[in-house]
Amino acid sequence: MSFTLIDQGSENFEFTASVWQWKAAVELLRSYDIVSEGSLRQMTYNATGVKVSMDEAAAIASKVRNETLPKMGVGKRMFGDLTITDAPDDMTLHRDSDEQWKNYSVTHEWLEDFAEFCERSKGFQVF
């Protein structure tokens, strides 16, 4: 399963995230307190079409660039609980309920791309 973010200003400008990335990203967005809790809840399901305004997208990009990326450092990744690791994803599928959180993370590079998408978009919808 994947999520596609579609720019509200151009149908040809999209950003794609796997469920493994998006679940961690939504938790990061929740920590920023920019998007409403109702919208965040809808974002956990694909194809809802929930909208993020241009102002919200710009604020998200700013938080990613100015707060999160400097804390992470290049070559690291962040889990959904907002902890940071330098261990690469070994693609292990953690099935034990106590370790399932390890399945969801975003890399520094992915967050840079996400911030760029947010900056360039005119707001976006999540599908």
Per-residue model confidence as pLDDT tens digits over 7-21: 999 878 999 999 999
Instruction: State the pLDDT at residue 99.
Output: 75
* Cβ–Cβ < 8 Å for 78, 72: yes
Instruction: State the pLDDT at residue 109.
Output: 97
Instruction: State the pLDDT at residue 30.
Output: 97
Q: How does pLDDT run across 66-117, given as a tens digit for each residue?
A: 999 999 999 999 999 999 999 888 777 777 777 777 778 999 999 999 999 9
For the cut 90, the answer to whether the pLDDT of residue 63 exceeds it is yes
Instruction: State the pLDDT at residue 65.
Output: 98
For the cut 80, the answer to whether the pLDDT of residue 58 exceeds it is yes
The span from the CA of 74 to the CA of 66, in Å, is 14
The span from the CA of 114 to the CA of 120, in Å, is 10
